[in-house]
Amino acid sequence: MIASKFIPLCLAIASFVCQVNVGLAAAESKMSLQQKPFGKTAQGLPVEEFTLANGRGVTVKIVSYGAILTSVQTPDRHGKSGEITLGFDTLEPYLAGHPFFGAVCGRVANRIAGGKFTIDGRTYHLAINNGPNHLHGGNVGFDKAVWQAEPFTEAHAVGVRLTHRSPDGDEGYPGNLAVAVAYTLTDENELKIDYTATTDKATPVNLTNHTYWNLADGGVSDVLKHMLTLNADRYLPVDATLIPTGELKQVAGTPMDFTKPTALGERLNDTPGDPKGYDHCFVLNKADEHSLGLAARVEEPQSGRVMEVYTTEPAIQLYTANFLDGGIHSRGATYGQHHAFCLEAEHYPDAINQPEFPSTLLKPGETYRQTTVHRFSAK
């Protein structure tokens, strides 16, 4: 009697396992990766484009120039996929100059005061390319390099790994730096970015991705109704040149309070400086500074799209495209002021000059590591 009941149960379990395996195989088969030429630089270096898709409506494009994330398309609440980033579909506009659309910024993202720092008694001088300061790696930073690229496939993911060698003295930085950035798209609608770097001489390293997001329509309209939540009770006040003053200030009672879902435009005009908008670094609430934790959640009410950002970094820079002025046209859109936002996972700006901040100094024998994950959904 027990055996007669047990056999159908086994068959049912076997059938269920078979269905699960078939389902997984189908999911795997929907993952796709395509590679094609994207053009050549003025020096004749070929640039490749990689298209990652997961069969669930998420498509990601990366090019080897600047390790740039050129496009992300995700479904809205009705299942219709659409563009949610600002960028270009051809190489020429990237070569002509752009505000770091989708680029990997380095060696040091964000600003270094006065374009200089001192290591072991020696002062290094960098390019001054943002007022009196150094920004995003200099005049020819990682965003303008042609990276070596290698696509890969996994059981439930596809991706591309890009590598670059920054020589000793590059843009004024010391040491030969070997950098790798891997973009991975999963069948769970996650875009994972893993960074590693090693050096043969002490040097500051602070890498980030500078994608401009607009979850409604990819930059056709502004982002002022996007609802943002930041897991950050403190932020870094800045001086008139956007260098942190060294204070870690509570966000409570200030325009910087995004601890509860808040429209990006609700207090934007109360921010300091001109033009108005956010360009501030927020200190993330993290028990373990190296763990992967939730940093931000953005909801766009019209499309229903949601993006969550997880990172191992101690901070995230919120930028509301304050300096876009309508002079860039792409993908049927005119990119105006506040038509996008950036959430740049990183260490604190100017940390190399402010020893009380978490260190950005990478030494020989050490490995810089960072992981940031963007998780997409709709509601």
86, 212 in Cβ contact below 8 A?
A: yes
User: Cis (ω within 30 of 0) for the bond into 275?
Assistant: yes
Catalytic residue among 98, 134, 164, 210: 210
Catalytic residue among 48, 83, 313, 344: 344
> What is the rounded CA–CA span in Å between residue 305 and residue 332?
21
Task: For residue 234, give both structure tokens.
Answer: 């403190």
Task: For residue 153, give both structure tokens.
Answer: 């496939």
107, 204 in Cβ contact below 8 A?
A: yes
Is 346 among the residues known to form the active site? no
The DSSP annotation for 288-342 comes to STTS-EEEEEEE-TTT-EEEEEEESSSEEEEE--TT--S-EEETTEEE-TTS-BE
Is 210 among the residues known to form the active site? yes
206, 351 in Cβ contact below 8 A?
A: yes
> What is the rounded CA–CA span in Å between residue 201 and residue 114?
22
> What is the rounded CA–CA span in Å between residue 198 and residue 195?
11
C-alpha 345, offset from chain centre: 7
Question: Across the strands, what pairs with 74?
Answer: 82
Which of the residues are catalytic?
Answer: 210, 344
